[in-house]
Amino acid sequence: MTTWNYLKDYLTNIDWVTLLLSIGLVALRILIVLIIYIVIKKISKAFVSRLFETYTQKNAISKGRAFTLESLTNNLISYLLFFILIITILQLFGINATAILAGAGIIGLAVGFGAQGLVSDIVTGFFLLLERQLDVGDLVTIAAFSGTVEQVGLRTTQVRSADGTLHFIPNREITLLSNHSRGDMQALVDIVVSNNNDIPKTIEILQKACDSIAMDNPAITDGPNVIGIQNLGVASTTIRILAKTVNGEQWGIERLIKEKAGISLEENGIKKPETPFIIGNDKG
């Protein structure tokens, strides 16, 4: 028997009606599964969107943080639904998914050991965003890096230093975080004057200058107030001035206090400490 005759006999003996019916039934089941997958995916996306919209309104979080968290949640749900879809389709074809799951588990375990850092970055980044530990525009100190947060990602956080350097910090390395942009900030100025001055009068002059500054600056939330003598030296006295300001305005207020205090002291004849001159005797 030739190959053609064998193939002809094989095709003739096939029950085409039953075969086509089986294929059609499997195709119908796959179509139903795909429709269910699409519907569930859209419902879950709408639910997550509504959930984060409510969460954003109640907790007053930034749109950037809410968008990042929402995207992460949608991606996780999509991966889970797609995995379930693949397993369901394989079962429709009569393929045992248990062995596949076991193999995937072993592979996942091996990949997990190699990607511990990546997983740690993502988990830490998620909680950094969720707990509002920092946000874009915040002034922070992370380990040895200080600067302004430019981007908070799931893997890295970008901080730009005052000199313009952009630092990419893996989220898993953020073990100690100091955020300088939460609530009012403190402006602190030390004024050094000569001990030959009338110190109580000097303090009174400085307080009047501080009162005039407070009247013209809405960025000041409390003070400035002359706290008193901070240090008493042999030839000089240090007087401390303290104020609370709107976040980010503390440096400008410090410069303003120094300027106004210097002008007021000069106008009232308050002397600065004299700088001693050292005369050297060169030999040789």
Domains and CATH numbers, the chain: 15-114 (1.10.287.1260), 133-179 (2.30.30.60), 185-267 (3.30.70.100)
In a structure prediction context, what are the per-residue pLDDT tens digits for the chain, which is 284 residues long? 566 666 666 656 666 667 677 777 778 888 888 898 889 888 988 888 888 777 777 766 666 666 667 766 777 788 788 888 888 877 777 776 666 666 666 656 555 555 566 677 777 777 777 777 777 778 888 888 888 888 777 678 888 888 888 888 888 888 888 887 777 788 888 888 888 888 888 888 888 888 888 887 888 888 788 888 888 888 888 888 888 888 777 888 888 888 888 888 888 888 888 765 444 444 44
pTM, entire model: 0.47
Chain CA centroid to CA 7, Å: 67
Q: What is the pLDDT of residue 194?
A: 85
